[in-house]
Amino acid sequence: MPTTLTQAHLKLLELCPRRFQHTYLDRLIAPVNPDMLQRQQWGTQFHQIMQQRDLGLAVDPLLQQDPHLKAAVEGLLTHAPDLFIDPDPGLRQSEHRRSLPFHGYSLTVVYDLLIVTPQRGQIIDWKTYLKPPRQAQLAQEWQTRLYLYVLAETSDLPPDRLSMDYWFVQPQGATLADAPPSRVSIPYSEAAHRRTDRDLRRLTQTLTHLLASAEPLPQVDEAQGLCGTCPFAVRCQRSSDRHQPPTPISLPAVADIAEVPL
Ligand code: SF4
């Protein structure tokens, strides 16, 4: 039974409990498209460079080997220099992890960058993705909701002093002129905090109930149209190839999975 719940767990659980089971309980995964895998690995590299840079480790040798990575990092430093200044007084930390006990689970977040001053708290997330989604769409993502919820519950600042900023940097192959870094900022509020609290209670209660049963976790209604693009469609008998045997593959440790662009 999973005790740790991340935004990825919540997202799949809400999308389709059976898919949550295949991914996190049965530890199965479908083969990843090689182009997607390359993009994910590049995104992971970008995150590692940003973290190493913050830790004061030398990143120049790595950047010299990859001009796209160098352009992406330098573009961000040029467009958002304030993000790289330590507040005084305050906290500024890369890859900042927090956990919050919640009804038998541990809600866990890892912020790419967290900046907290006596006046405000700012979560920064790097995305190596060319077309930023709309603010309204990002505000509904479990990543946004969980990250802000956990920060509000673990700091002295009220929700309306918190925000989450997504910074979109040009992915591998795009130039700075094509796609300069851009920011989508999501403000937080007491009302949003209450909504997330309610939805987290609902989801965790549902999960506890489902896990207590000997039955497989339920499949989503086929009429919702999610199965057609699901990698487990054959396994779930929801594919036109349903007579072919499924091909399960063992899932690597979650920590080894590359960054998935939003
Ligand atoms: S095929 Fe459909 S029911 Fe099965 S895991 Fe995927 S979304 Fe869920």
Residue 49 lies in a domain: yes
Band (pLDDT 50/70/90 cuts) for residue 213 is very high
8 A C-beta contact, residue 24 and residue 9:
yes
Residue 54 lies in a domain: yes
- What domain count does the chain have? 1
Residue 91 lies in a domain: yes
CATH number at residue 244: 3.90.320.10
> What is the tens place of the pLDDT at every residue in 17-66?
999 999 999 999 777 788 888 888 888 989 999 999 988 898 998 899 98
Residue with tokens 């989508």: 184
**18 CB within 6 A, ligand 1:** yes
> Does residue 89 surpass a pLDDT of 80?
yes
The average confidence (pLDDT) of the chain is 88
Residue 261 lies in a domain: no
Residue 173 lies in a domain: yes
By residue range, what is the domain housing residue 245?
4-256
Residue 211 lies in a domain: yes
**Phi, psi (5° rounding) for residue 30?**
-85, 155
- Give Cα 166 distance to the centre of its chain: 11
Instruction: Provide the strand spans (E) within the chain.
Output: 4-5, 91-102, 105-116, 121-128, 162-169, 182-187
Per cent of the chain over pLDDT 70 is: 87
Residue 148 lies in a domain: yes
> What is the tens place of the pLDDT at every residue in 214-245?
999 999 999 999 999 899 999 999 986 654 44
| Average pLDDT of the residues in 160-165 | 98
Distance 166 CA to ligand 1 centre (A): 29
Residue 262 lies in a domain: no
**226 CB within 6 A, ligand 1:** yes
Which residue puts its alpha carbon closest to atom 1 of ligand 1? 233
Band (pLDDT 50/70/90 cuts) for residue 72 is confident
Q: Which of the pair, 250 or 191, is modelled with greater confidence?
A: 191
| Average pLDDT of the residues in 143-162 | 98
